[in-house]
Structure 1
Amino acid sequence: MGRFATTVALYEELRPPYPAEFFRNVAQRLSLGKQHSLIDLGTGPGLLALGFAPYVGRIVGVDPEPAMIAAARKAAARASQPLTLIEGRAEDLPADIGSFDVVTIGRALHWMDRDATLGLFERLVAPEGTILVCSSHSAADGRNPWLGEFNQARRFWSEASLWSESGGGERIHRDLAAFFHGTRFHVADAVRVEASHEISVHDLARRVLTFSSSSPDALGDKTDAMLRDVEQRLLPLSRKGSVTEVVVAAAQTLKR
């Protein structure tokens, strides 16, 4: 079982969402159309793949976690959207998969081997193609006054778990210019979209379970205690048990 297997049911529902405007803006910036193809590496439940699907023709999602592939397949069926899904590591994709006009990657680059990934991009990205490194996160500029307490609680329970991030697959938020240094790819422009929504402290506590270091598998019998603790920390910062979350969705583009 993979490290994200027990997060599948929660991941799509509880991670900071990509707003529809994000996909529209990126598609307009890149002048995407049905003649274009896109592959999403580390697709998870297909959030990026399905978000971009209306703007391109061929679309492929790749993920090593069987449960994530199953979730993406169900999401594609709900959306009545054709989506080719490949179970396996992106680095192991066969040479005959071809090239793509857009290669997207979200919350996965920090798990991938740099040398293997750079070689993968070299063969996956079409000559005039684009890499999109995407993220969606809570704004950390003070507009989410509950965020500091949430992050403190998440760190506490990650350290309390038996499976810490540093215990196999350390999360490294790489500087893209440094990551692609010495290659033919260069950092181009960025697309940034903000949106806000209401979220309950109950769901914010459950969001802690979507991280591998504090997943249900990692926390085990500490799960209920974690949920209670996070809710108790956040309730004083809420209005009737809910808070406003300002979400920043961003796509950094890289070109040859």
Structure 2
Amino acid sequence: MGRFATTVALYEELRPPYPPAFFREVAQRLAFGKQHALIDLGTGPGLLALGFAPYVGRIVGVDPEPAMLAAAKNAAAHVSQAFTLIAGKAEDLPDDIGGFDVVTIGRALHWMDREATLARLERLVVPDGVILVCASFSATDGRNPWLDDYNTTRRTWSKESLWSEAGSGARTHRDLAGFFAGTRFHAADVIRVETSHEVSVRDLARRVLTFSSSSPDVLGDKVEAMLRDVEQRLLPLSRDGHLTEVVVTTAQQVKR
């Protein structure tokens, strides 16, 4: 069973969202069209690929976790969207898969083997194509005054060796300049969209379960104790059990 197998049911519902405004802004800025093909590496439940689907002609998703692929298949069926799904790691894609105009990578780059991934990207990205390393995270500049307490509490319940997966958007991915150093790829402009929404204290507590470092499998019989602890820490900061979350969503462009 993969590290995210027990997070699937909660992942799409509870992670900071990729809002419609983000997909629209990126598609407009980069002039996406039906002639373009997109592949999403580490697709999970298909959030990025399905979000961009209305703006491109074809979407493909790759993920090693069967339960995530099943969730992506169900999500695509729900909106009647054709979505080719491939089981496996991005590094292991066959040479004959062809080229893509857009390669998206969400909350996955830090799990990928650098050398193998770079070799695969050289084949995947067409000459004038773009890699988009995307993230969506709670703003860390003080506009979410509950966030420090939340992250501190979450850390106490997380498997410490995996804590680097968590937290702010700055830690969501490896340093891109270093990752692509010595290749023909380079980091270009960042597209940034900010939105806000109301989120319940209960759902923020449940969000803890969507990370591999604090998944139901990791926490075991401590799940309910974790939920109570997080809720008790956040309730005094809430209004009727709800908090405003300012979400920053970014697409870091990487080009040749």
When the two structures are superposed, what TM-score results if normalisation uses the length of structure 2?
0.95
Mapped contact 2:155–2:163 kept (Cα < 8 A): no
Distance 1:82 1:248 in 2: 29
Count of residue correspondences:
250
Partner amino acid for 2:246?
V
Post-superposition Cα deviations, 1:51-108, rounded to whole Å, max 9, x if no partner, equal 0000001110000000000000000001111100001111110000001000000000
SS at the partner of 2:16?
coil
Distance 1:118 1:203 in 2: 37
Query: What root-mean-square deviation, in Å, do the aligned CA atoms of Structure 1 and Structure 2 show?
Result: 1.3
Distance 1:251 1:8 in 2: 23
SS at the partner of 2:140?
coil
Partner amino acid for 2:230?
V
Distance 2:96 2:200 in 1: 46
Mapped contact 2:42–2:107 kept (Cα < 8 A): yes
Question: What is aligned with 1:217?
Answer: 217
What are structure 1's unaligned runs of at least 5 residues?
none
Alignment of structure 1 residues 154-193 onto 2, 5 Å: 154-159=154-159, 164-165=161-162, 173-193=173-193
- 1:165 Cα deviation after fit: 1.4
1:55 aligns with 2:49: no
Partner amino acid for 2:176?
L
Change (3 A) 1:148 1:172: closer
What are structure 2's unaligned runs of at least 5 residues?
165-170
SS at the partner of 1:154?
helix
SS at the partner of 1:165?
helix
Alignment of structure 1 residues 117-156 onto 2, 5 Å: 117-156=117-156
Mapped contact 2:33–2:56 kept (Cα < 8 A): yes
Distance 1:227 1:237 in 2: 16
SS at the partner of 1:145?
coil
Partner amino acid for 2:105?
I
* Percent identity over paired residues: 77
- 1:172 Cα deviation after fit: 7.5
Question: What is aligned with 1:28?
Answer: 28
Distance 2:104 2:74 in 1: 20
Distance 1:30 1:189 in 2: 11
- 1:175 Cα deviation after fit: 1.0
Question: What is aligned with 1:243?
Answer: 243
